[in-house]
Structure 1
Amino acid sequence: MAENSHADVAIVAKAAAMIASRLDSKLNQTTRAIQTLLVGEISELRGDAQLLQLLEDTVATNVDTFFAAIRYNIPVSHVEPPTAALEYARRLAQREVSANALVRAYRLGHRAALDVVLAEIRAAGLDPKLGLDVYEQMEAVSFEYIDRISQLVVETYQDERERWVENRNSLRALRVREILSGADVDVDAMTTAIRYPLRRIHLSAIVWCPDSGNLMALGQMERFVEDLAGSIGAQNDSLFIAVDQVTGWAWIPVPPDSISTAVARIRRFAQAAADGLYLAVGDPLPGVAGFRRSHDQAQDARAVAIAPGATVRRVTAASDPELAMAALLVGNLTAARIWVGEVLGPLASTTDSDRRLRETLRVFLRTGSSYKAAAEQLHLHVNSVKYRVRRALERRGRTIAGDRLDVEVALLLCGWYGTAVLG
């Protein structure tokens, strides 16, 4: 009897490992499904593109670790928490997302993962008794794994939250957020509280570092902002607020004689810098209203810059041509991709040839359908422009006489979002 029992355990373990191996080939699909569920169910997890990417990595590494524990019969007590999972807990703590949201994410993700396991067991066509035994084993391992990992990530969250609150310039950040909320403020008293001249002209900036492992990022970003201010001759200190470990908000008081050139000078300085930081900036605007509006513009610029598939740019400015329109659709790129495909047809492909045709057609339309002006801007011969425009329309499959505006907007979105809106 003992030998039979031992044999049964081995058979179940082998079948469970087979199911885990089958599921491993579907890791990306499973990860996307769970991430979509979590973002749909828990509003606090709907952060920017960087935070969503970190959530995706967290889901992927947790699921992969669970499958590996099954495949290789690794005791859960020997499993180390995924690095991405710990970093995601820290980032939520820094952004003041509740611990309840984090714990709920693990509960919902656990349920979704078990649904995937059950579906795969059914698809594998196992004997019903064996299938039930396999599910019970995988369920038991998954509960033990989630119990262990969720405790560790919550501990990490709590430690980071305490550290972040202690080390952050809490009062200054609180006052800045109060200004941004739109509440009435005593300008002079608030100027003293945040140590920044609110009656001046402000250029807002958002600085971020794509490398979450850079522990020196915040100090590096603050120094970078100071250098930006120096590049336009700012006479007063700039204002820098940490948002999380890799993101900062900043405001630079712009001298009156630098208003018209401030963005261009900051762009040149930032693009020449060798520190690997990325920058989004608003327009120079006056007073408290300008402090708020320039920040909103910088937020829009960053949202476009970090959208999945977007063309990589070191500096993105609210004043960049057509950015404001592109920002209106950043929250719904799936619908934008479908619409772009309908408007441009085969021209909305990812080939280099179609990219060149789209760019030529975009410049041609923007210059008032002037072959000569487009040729000058693109540094091409007029006949080359004519050829490319004709080929672009052939690729599209119809003229633009009836929907020119749609075509221009679709080309604009392709220029800003790249593969995110291309078929």
Structure 2
Amino acid sequence: MNNWVEQLAPHSAVVVADAASDPKLVGAAIAEIGVSASEWAIETAQEIISAVQREFAASESPGVMTGREREAFEASLFTTLMALHNDTPAGEIVRPRGAEENVRESARQGVPMGTLLRTVWACHTRTQDALLRELEELFDPAELMPQVRTLNAALYSYVDLYVKGLTTEYQNELIAWSGHVPAERLHIMRSLLEGEQPTSTTERALGLRLTDHHLIGVAWQWSTRHIPDRQAELSRFGAQIGQALGASNTLVLHHDGLAEYWWTFSRLPDVNLDQVANDVTNPPWARLAIGELGAGLEGFRSSYATAQQAAKVGRKAAEGDFWSYSDVRLIALLSADEAAARRFVRDELQGLDGDEPKIAELRNTLRLFLKTGNSRILAARELHLAANTVAYRVGRASELLGRPATERPVETLLALELAHHFPAYLTDSMP
């Protein structure tokens, strides 16, 4: 038994509660190697995954992509330390569930096998270096070399086992995912949306917990040109958003030319989801809409419905590549009856409904003026203009409307918002 493993200790204020792994595995590690060594594993996993992410980002090469790499590596590190402690042969090691789940997620999200292997070997190299540094602190020079040789041999046999296992797991998941699994998950999602209650196997089939918090997104290609590996690109895009949001799980389902993202959170997120999602760079040919966060099964259904409404606005809009329901809920409601919305816009904006650039400029200035509570200063700041210029444009818009622009502020602003998002409402013939 290698008792030196028990002497490992973290160098920062890491505690067991910071672990990303399955609590059962953490408990087993504590029982086997102690609290101190377990905290060292948690700290080291955090540092190594962060280092690998930075390395891949600096080299502009694909790297950690599913958002579950820390859990996977931490679980593998716990397993490795327990095996080292007991001199366990590689053939007797049981691969941790967290690592296997990350491999399956990688296959589903289109992460190439080469990228996965690069991540594994990068983590292995840094683990070896970290443990060698610890051995240098724990052993005298005369005792060090035998320990180093034993450690290197054991680590190589363990990583070889991990690589063989993940390769098989990846290939099996890829076969399943390209076959019946996506269709089954899409069928389950549709059934839940139609009001069916989940069964005892629903969560396992979906790979997520329905009692969590849910956020639904929709991505689609707005251009008509051919995009190689479009589904894989949209899958990676959804995974990147999930990672940025801190989602516990990301499920991507493709159908009818769309990618639907299902992100779940084990606890209520403490970030602005709209802002974080918008900050992730879209593929240049794709647009994204997201719904509102919801809890439990009803929250999932609500998030799905609001995502679809935001996507409907985004598909009809003249410009923009990100659509959040919280931003366009009113537009979604007003545009649900398109014929009525067109009539409303034309009636309210008669005289200010031309498509000339100067008229469009007046409409936009008036829109921001009314939106900011009739504030020339705030509108001017938004438009990077002088307040007097805003006042002039509002006055000119009133002349064209044939009434003071502030006479019917609610109706006028709603019509201007519709015209801003859907300029065709002003120029196309009635449907």
Tell me if TM exceeds 0.5: yes
Partner of 2:15: none
Which residue in the other structure is 1:241 paired with?
253
2:373 pairs with 1:359: no
Calculate percent identity across the aligned residue pairs.
Answer: 27
Residue in structure 2 matched with residue 297 of structure 1 by the alignment: 306
Residues 139-177 of structure 1: per-residue CA shift (max 9 Å, x gap): xxxxxxxxxxxxxxxxxxxxxxxxxx9667221111111
Cα shift at 1:281: 0.4
2-side partners of 1:273 and 1:221: how far apart? 9
| TM score, norm. by length of structure 2 | 0.54
- Pair 379,401 (structure 1): closer, same or farther in 2 beyond 3 Å: closer
Change in Cα spacing, 1:253 to 1:259, as seen in structure 2 (3 Å) is farther
Q: Distance in 2 between matches of 1:223 and 1:401?
A: 47
Using a 3 Å threshold, how does the CA distance of structure 1 residues 217 and 420 change in structure 2: closer, same or farther? farther
Task: Say which of 401, 413, 425 aligns to 1:420.
Answer: 425
Q: Superposed, which structure 2 residues align to 1:22-61 within 5 Å?
A: none
Aligned counterpart, 1:16: none
Which runs of structure 2 are paired with 1:91-130 in the superposition (5 Å)? none
**1:263–1:283: 8 Å Cα contact kept in structure 2?**
no
CA distance in 2, matches of 1:292, 1:259: 22
- What is the Cα deviation at residue 367 of structure 1? 1.7
**2 CA distance for matches of 1:248 and 1:391?**
45
Find the residue that maps to 2:380 and give its secondary structure: helix
Deviation sequence 1:354-383 (CA, Å, 0-9, x none): 111111111111222122222223222110
Partners of 2:355 and 2:365 lie apart in 1 by 15
Q: Which amino acid letter does the alignment assign opposite residue 233 of structure 1?
A: G
* Separation of aligned partners in 2, 1:181 and 1:259: 31
Over 3 Å counting, the alpha-carbon distance change for 1:296 and 1:212 in structure 2 is farther
1:189 aligns with 2:201: yes
Say which structure is richer in helix.
1
Equivalent position amino acid for 1:268 in 2: D
Cα distance in structure 2, aligned partners of 1:226 and 1:202: 15
> Partner of 1:225 in structure 2?
238
TM-score (norm 1): 0.55
- Aligned match for 2:384, one of 379, 383, 389: 379
Unaligned runs of 5+ residues in structure 1 are 1-164
Report the CA distance shift for 1:185/1:212 in structure 2 as closer, same or farther (over 3 A).
farther
Which residue number corresponds to residue 178 of structure 1?
Answer: 191
The equivalent of 2:117 in structure 1 is none
Counterpart CA distance in 2 for 1:367 and 1:399 is 17
Residues 312 and 332, structure 2, Cα contact 8 Å, conserved in 1: yes
Distance 1:378 1:275 in 2: 26
* Structure 1 residues 401 and 205: CA distance shift in structure 2, 3 A: closer
Cα separation, partners in 2 of 1:390 and 1:175, compared to 1, 3 Å: same
**Distance change (3 Å), C-alpha of 1:255 and 1:196:** closer
CA separation of 1:255 and 1:268: change in aligned 2, threshold 3 A: farther
1:265 deviation in Å?
Answer: 0.8
Cα distance in structure 2, aligned partners of 1:257 and 1:170 = 29
Are 2:273 and 1:268 equivalent residues in the alignment? no
Partners of 1:260 and 1:285 lie apart in 2 by 15
Amino acid at match of 1:371: R
Aligned 8 A contact 2:220 2:258 in 1: yes
Larger radius of gyration: 2
The equivalent residue for 2:325 is 318
Deviates more, 1:190-199 or 1:371-380: 371-380
- Residues 189-225 of structure 1 show CA distances to partners (whole Å, capped at 9, x for unaligned) of 3211211222211111001123474352222211211
Query: Residue 407 of structure 1 is aligned with which of 407, 412, 422?
Result: 412
Match of 1:139 in 2: none
Listed as ranges, the gaps of 5+ residues in structure 2 are 1-177
Partner Cα separation in structure 1 for residue 313 and residue 364 of structure 2: 19
The alignment status of 1:258 with 2:269, answered yes or no, reads yes
CA contact (8 A) 2:394 2:405 kept: no
- The alpha-carbon deviation at position 344 of structure 1 amounts to 1.0
Verify the 8 A CA contact 1:336 1:421 in the aligned structure 2: no
Contact 1:337 1:422 in 2 (8 A): no
- Provide the C-alpha distance between the structure 2 equivalents of 1:335 and 1:394, rounded to a whole number of angstroms: 26
| Equivalent AA in structure 1 for residue 232 of structure 2 | G
The one-letter code of the counterpart of 2:302 is R
Gap change, CA 1:213 and 1:167, over 3 Å in 2: farther
**Contact (CA 8 Å) 2:291, 2:305: kept in 1 or not?**
yes
Find 1:350's aligned residue among 349, 352, 355: 355
Q: Number of paired residues?
A: 251
Q: Structure 1 counterpart of 2:274, which letter?
A: V
SS in 1 for 2:191: helix
